[in-house]
Structure 1
């Protein structure tokens, strides 16, 4: 017997609630005070008297890498998530997310060879390009141009300054945003709460003339605190031509650390200038993985973002948080006209300049109130207001070195969006059982209006050659209800069962229906995508040195927006697409299911299998097994792109009591499809990569470090892109770095 998706979801929600009934009966004899005592004894719990201004997702103690039941104005009971504690590793330079995210099961890192942005995906939920399906935050604040209409992860904070990375899985993160792939938060160190001062500095050099310097300082008198950091990095990159980069990151913060109120005013600045060497055909990749195809393409990213965060403990049972944020994000790219998939673009072709400007502002207000005997229940409510204005300017250069677009305007597009969201959860505590229903209601308005749309004219010179084409004018207004329910049952002090069912939403993007890339065709209309995720798992510590996490999951993703790779015939309303090109459209609905397994084992240490004098030798490994298929639509019967059947990561880490750190990271990714219709020219072969790093303290607060990435020089391509300038993006060959740092 088959069930409709709607019936399946309703039954799942009912089963989750029913699953708690035996536990509720068993817990009925427990008094409310015993429930409160159990909550107090939770090692992951956080006292409301110690709010943190650095994290909206988790404010657990720094020695914890599991989610607490609640923190501040947020509830995590009934949710599954992961924390990567970067302070357990040697400092990670050069944005190596493969190492930084190795402790988060199922989070696929699709590496970008010039490091210009993060490309992440989760459980096969769409192309990872620029992490469109995941909400990216830094210290609680969206770190993307527009969290609804353009959630591209162009900004990554310096990983050497990141304390931990928090990830809320899939649609269970619906209180942090609608993205179906979950929410990822980079938490920087600080603020300093004790009176005094501290600082650190680091210099790093590496392969391909890589150079980086980072300095930070933190001051505090116990009430008023301030901190800041600046990083500069540059290098030639792993490709021989046009792979250089230059980046500047700066941040300043002022904190008020009161008894009941914590306030943080922050200002972030980032600018990155990257060469874009382009993709390679499979044959060119095999011949020379350091080759390129676009010797003049570039992208410049600039972000200025002030934020204000306030946390107020109104009473022992009530807490309020408010976050106001604004960002001005500019993305300017130059691409040579007339390129082909994996082929060298003719040098004579002129440059096309595309400039996108994003002015985005938001206000997030949240309230938490504990109630009931012993305060065993918790209610959270919140609202989010969000607005953006994002014009696009496309101009043609008069030559291959004209970066100003003096040959004339090609396109002008006005884009704007507004969103109002209301959300809430209630945690009902019954002894060892907690039931957490939640909701989110989105009211979205988005408008995209073309005022100019001209053909490119000659690829080698001259002004725009075509008359004004059909002008797009799209306005979407929607009210979207989302919901979820979670259950947590502490069957024993070292055994917890967690289940969650949630519905997520991917709004239409500004660039749905609009494309400026050669060889890419796009549908005239798009439908938004919806995800329904069911997950059930356990967290166990059978012995002090051993920790086990396991979960089963199933995701139904409706109206996925993806692409079908060419060659494709000309069918209304599309044009013909050649080999290496693609057609962007709603490609159908998918069903992704699988298992996540994670093991942490302390081999040597105070609680390890073998006793050590100091420090800990730890093995952590995680495995995702994934079965993904399109169930209807144009891609029915195919495997979704970037949905490998296995993703395995293992980390062997030495964590010394004196600050020494050493790590060996192994990554294994199965075969992947690079197009939703599984065209062989886009297939990505599986690969295995090993990374090694070490940092050792020496005299006077100084530390020396070194590392080797891709230790065994694996030849692989983690991503592929269609169209002009597209092709296979090769993984970086073996490379090394050394560093010297100081902390005091």
Structure 2
């Protein structure tokens, strides 16, 4: 339909096993955008979404920072953040920050649901943001795409994907690597990302889909500046030993069963095993880093399990107008292991910008 061809639009009244009739929804068709997808350029990708607040963490698009009207955009914490319909944040209920951001080059479209309709997905005030990733082309058995992008300050991105349909099997997979040095000292980052999608049409009524997502990045953080330091030189950095590491593993399996043309069932189960580590001088920026003192360490591990089932049935009332009934149930368990603030063994060699980082893999 037209919403699939235009850059932006609205969700249809019924999408899959969800009802959006009369709801405040928006769709961004990423494939139709004229945007820098290699860096996940937030301001270009979300430019057609009204009321979005944006902050940028880095020049490589490692983390997404957007919020709804007046809400804090930090790591999308005020949105229920999903990929292909399942949660991707650290803990959807207890710690809804998203350290993982899907590669914009692999996104088919972005769905945003705001207002009361988003309550079915979670408790976040901003609503729902769902990244629908690409699938393999239905009319080809094999397709290969490779994009190489280079930019200022040592930026390089390589995105490589394969996809296709072989008989009843549709597959899509990508691998991405990006690196950069940033415009300030101590801003280097390296990121690896991968994704695999397989769906098999066992019968005309039953389709099973399995997906796995991997992301790992290590970034050096230049830290903030005092007003005096910023006035003297806004590009300087006084934190040569601060590092941030994220590892994200996300797996899901989905069953779609079509009883008939009017009734269908969707059951998805997913698991997240992830972690993030912050290492460095994490106190106030006006306190200097002498370069030979122990650093602070923040270390979290996230283990989440979720399962959702939805049943959608369409029927005609007396006036023969089609109506839709939707029912569902959700089971979710989130576990966050927070090791708190502790001092790390630095083994410093002078505290220079080229110091070997101490965050273990």
For the criterion TM > 0.5, the same-fold answer is yes
Name the counterpart of 2:358: 403
Residue 301 (structure 2) pairs with residue 346 (structure 1):
no
Residue 160 of structure 1 aligns to a residue whose secondary structure is helix
Residue 329 of structure 2 aligns to a residue whose secondary structure is strand
Residue 229 of structure 2 aligns to a residue whose secondary structure is helix
Residue 122 (structure 2) pairs with residue 177 (structure 1):
yes
Separation (CA, whole Å) in 2 of partners of 1:92 and 1:382: 35
Deviation at 1:335, TM superposition (A): 2.2
Separation (CA, whole Å) in 2 of partners of 1:328 and 1:267: 11
Name the counterpart of 1:81: 25
1:254–1:160 CA distance, 2 compared to 1 (3 A):
same
Name the counterpart of 1:220: 165
Separation (CA, whole Å) in 2 of partners of 1:263 and 1:191: 15
Find the structure with the greater CA-based Rg.
1
Deviation at 1:358, TM superposition (A): 0.7
1:384 equivalent among 321, 324, 330: 330
Separation (CA, whole Å) in 2 of partners of 1:136 and 1:253: 19
Aligned-residue CA RMSD (Å): 2.1
Separation (CA, whole Å) in 1 of partners of 2:62 and 2:230: 20
Deviations 1:291-311 (A, max 9, x none): 223211111100111101122
Deviations 1:46-83 (A, max 9, x none): xxxxxxxxxxxxxx645573211111111111111211
Residue 161 (structure 2) pairs with residue 206 (structure 1):
no
Name the counterpart of 2:92: 147
Structure 1 segments of 4+ aligned residues over 6 angstroms from their partners: none
Separation (CA, whole Å) in 2 of partners of 1:252 and 1:301: 20
Deviation at 1:288, TM superposition (A): 2.5
Residue 215 of structure 1 aligns to a residue whose secondary structure is strand
Separation (CA, whole Å) in 1 of partners of 2:359 and 2:112: 41
Separation (CA, whole Å) in 1 of partners of 2:192 and 2:239: 24
Separation (CA, whole Å) in 1 of partners of 2:346 and 2:139: 59
1:301 equivalent among 246, 250, 253: 246
Separation (CA, whole Å) in 1 of partners of 2:264 and 2:166: 25
Residue 79 (structure 2) pairs with residue 134 (structure 1):
yes
1:330–1:201 CA distance, 2 compared to 1 (3 A):
same
Residue 120 of structure 2 aligns to a residue whose secondary structure is coil
Matches within 5 A, 1:449-488: none
Check the 8 A contact 1:334/1:352 in 2, yes or no: yes
Check the 8 A contact 1:358/1:388 in 2, yes or no: yes
Matches within 5 A, 1:267-666: 267-336=212-281, 339-341=283-285, 344-373=288-317, 374=320, 376-393=322-339, 394-399=341-346, 401=348, 403=358
Deviation at 1:119, TM superposition (A): 1.8
Separation (CA, whole Å) in 2 of partners of 1:88 and 1:404: 40
1:280–1:343 CA distance, 2 compared to 1 (3 A):
farther
Separation (CA, whole Å) in 2 of partners of 1:404 and 1:231: 22
Residue 384 of structure 1 aligns to a residue whose secondary structure is strand
Deviation at 1:362, TM superposition (A): 0.3
Residue 52 (structure 2) pairs with residue 97 (structure 1):
no
1:96–1:289 CA distance, 2 compared to 1 (3 A):
farther
Residue 92 of structure 2 aligns to a residue whose secondary structure is coil
Structure with more contact order per residue of length (Cα contacts < 8 Å, sep ≥ 6):
1
Separation (CA, whole Å) in 2 of partners of 1:108 and 1:147: 21
Name the counterpart of 1:731: none
Residue 391 of structure 1 aligns to a residue whose secondary structure is strand
Deviations 1:630-651 (A, max 9, x none): xxxxxxxxxxxxxxxxxxxxxx
Name the counterpart of 1:123: 69
Name the counterpart of 2:353: none
Matches within 5 A, 1:698-709: none
Deviation at 1:193, TM superposition (A): 2.2
Matches within 5 A, 1:716-727: none
Separation (CA, whole Å) in 1 of partners of 2:245 and 2:150: 23
Residue 87 of structure 1 aligns to a residue whose secondary structure is helix
Deviation at 1:199, TM superposition (A): 1.4
Name the counterpart of 1:252: 196
Separation (CA, whole Å) in 1 of partners of 2:234 and 2:29: 33
1:263–1:364 CA distance, 2 compared to 1 (3 A):
same
Separation (CA, whole Å) in 2 of partners of 1:356 and 1:99: 32
Which runs of 5 or more residues in structure 1 are unaligned? 1-42, 45-59, 406-744
Residue 196 of structure 1 aligns to a residue whose secondary structure is coil
Separation (CA, whole Å) in 2 of partners of 1:196 and 1:256: 14
Separation (CA, whole Å) in 1 of partners of 2:160 and 2:252: 22
Deviation at 1:287, TM superposition (A): 3.4
Deviation at 1:171, TM superposition (A): 3.8
Name the counterpart of 1:265: 210
Residue 61 (structure 2) pairs with residue 106 (structure 1):
no
Check the 8 A contact 1:195/1:222 in 2, yes or no: no
Separation (CA, whole Å) in 2 of partners of 1:254 and 1:199: 16
Which runs of 5 or more residues in structure 2 are unaligned? 349-356
Deviation at 1:134, TM superposition (A): 0.8
1:201–1:342 CA distance, 2 compared to 1 (3 A):
farther
Separation (CA, whole Å) in 1 of partners of 2:300 and 2:135: 33
Residue 308 of structure 2 aligns to a residue whose secondary structure is strand
Separation (CA, whole Å) in 1 of partners of 2:228 and 2:62: 25
Separation (CA, whole Å) in 1 of partners of 2:140 and 2:28: 29
1:65–1:230 CA distance, 2 compared to 1 (3 A):
same
Check the 8 A contact 1:170/1:183 in 2, yes or no: no
Instruction: Give the TM-score normalised by structure 2.
Output: 0.89
Separation (CA, whole Å) in 2 of partners of 1:178 and 1:202: 38
Matched residue pairs, number?
345
Residue 75 of structure 2 aligns to a residue whose secondary structure is helix
Separation (CA, whole Å) in 2 of partners of 1:129 and 1:195: 40
